[in-house]
Structure 1
Amino acid sequence: MPHFLLNFDRHLFYFINHDLSNAFFDGLMPLMRNPKFWIPLYLFIIIFSVWRYKKQGVILVVFLLLAVGFADYTSASIIKPTIGRLRPCRDPITGPTDINRVACGTGYSFPSTHATDHFAIATFLSFLFFKRWRWILPATLFWAALICFAQVYVGVHYPLDVTGGAIYGSLVGILFVVGFRNVAPGFRA
């Protein structure tokens, strides 16, 4: 990665991790990035899809789970080890001044798997339901972006990590929407 881009990323990380620091975010952002916090939302999506769309809803849920599983596995097990970027909390340059609001985490940093997974969900749902419910696009993108911001704020990812994860997750979401539409061509939200 070019030196100027790394410096920009570190400066933006410092701004988010330090300069935006406040007691409200200190309490909220660790929750926003915790997948267990979102379990009620995940359950709602599954139950609503099956209840509303029956057999096609089951297929939708299967493809959504496949999208998340694929995004998660490829991000964490293939891309991260290949890139090998250190997390900000382990980086010799940013680590000493990093404000760790959660445990640093294991493994590498690029791309953020949280960002990858949640943008895969957001993109998948947005593409399927946008025609019926226009609000779903800004709502899901805001939700996924909030999780990305939280990852930087708590000190476990750089901004480019979550940006890369968001782009990759969106592409995965689109790929699985195409697959779903081929398997369930009559689906109408």
Structure 2
Amino acid sequence: MTFDDTALYRDITDFAHDTPMWVREGAGLWTEAGLLVFVALFAAVWWRARRDGPRAFAIAALAPLATAGAYVCSELLKSVVTQERPCRAVAGAAASLAACPPHGDWSFPSNHATIAGGSAVALALVRRALLWLTAPLALLMAFSRVFVGVHYPHDVLAGLVLGALVALVAVRLGTGPMTRLSGALRGSSAPVVRWVVGPGRPAGARSREVPAGRR
């Protein structure tokens, strides 16, 4: 599978080499470690949801699982498309800022962009206001993969879309079953289980449960 965006890839990687050293080093750090920001956000929304109702907790618990599902879909698609990395395939392009992955570590779609897109949508379904943070972070992650030279633009675009769609579908389909499971687990006598799912909303507190993404 080929797309005619090699010229854009060259333009971006040429631009990357013209940027100051601190920009290149920052991009190299972000493109690998930036996913940890999403991990921290997943942990934060889980911790907060421990004191919410079963439905809110269910969505928070599903968010990282949905993102993991998107990653699996990305890996399966890679094994079907088997597109070579641009840092190896594009003649005359500037050297990649990041180490070019070995042959067999295919390019399409971008796993990083898929995870970022899935995380952005899944977290926004937990709390809609988070989209103002997660969407720019996901776009920055996707761009960084082209900037450092290890993906084509179409790789990261496909990854963002794939991640967002899989996360949306997974959360929507899984909310009902996970809500019932969360309610049941909160009645468990096991201390570890009760710590993981949290105490929930105190008895008599006014319900503020709303549909996913409307909070």
TM (normalized to structure 1)? 0.81
Question: Matched residues, percent identical?
Answer: 25
Give the structure 1 partner of residue 158 of structure 2.
Answer: 164
Distance 1:98 1:30 in 2: 16
The CA deviation at 1:43 is 2.7
Question: In the alignment, what sits opposite 2:47?
Answer: 50
Provide closer, same or farther for how the CA distance between residues 148 and 46 of structure 1 changes in structure 2, counting only shifts above 3 A.
same
40-49 or 107-116, larger mean C-alpha shift: 40-49
TM-score (ref. length: structure 2): 0.72
Q: How does 1:147-186 map to 2 (within 5 A)?
A: 147-183=141-177, 184=179
User: Could you say if the C-alpha distance between residues 82 and 169 of structure 1 is closer, same or farther in structure 2, counting changes exceeding 3 Å?
Assistant: same
Of 21-30 and 48-57, more deviation after overlay is shown by: 48-57
Q: Which runs of 5+ in 1 are unaligned?
A: none
The two structures, once aligned, show a CA RMSD in angstroms of: 2.4
TM-aligned CA deviation for residue 176 of structure 1: 2.0
Task: Tell which structure's C-alpha radius of gyration is larger.
Answer: 2
CA gap of 1:57–1:99, structure 2 versus 1, over 3 A, is farther
Match of 2:140 in 1: 146
List structure 1 runs of 4+ shifted beyond 4 angstroms: 55-58
CA distance in 2, matches of 1:138, 1:44: 13
Instruction: Choose between structure 1 and 2: higher helix proportion.
Output: 1
Tell me if structure 1 keeps the 8 A contact 2:69–2:167. no
Q: Aligned in 2, Cα 1:112/1:41: closer, same or farther, shift over 3 Å?
A: closer
Shift of 1:16: 0.9
Residues 125-170 of structure 1 show CA distances to partners (whole Å, capped at 9, x for unaligned) of: 123322xx3xx22321110000001000001000000001011111
Instruction: Please give the residue correspondences for 1:49-68 in structure 2 after superposition, counting only pairs within 5 Å.
Output: 49-54=46-51, 59-68=58-67
Give the 5 Å matches for 1:88-127.
Answer: 88-91=86-89, 93-94=90-91, 96-106=92-102, 107-127=105-125
| Count of residue pairs brought into register by the alignment | 177
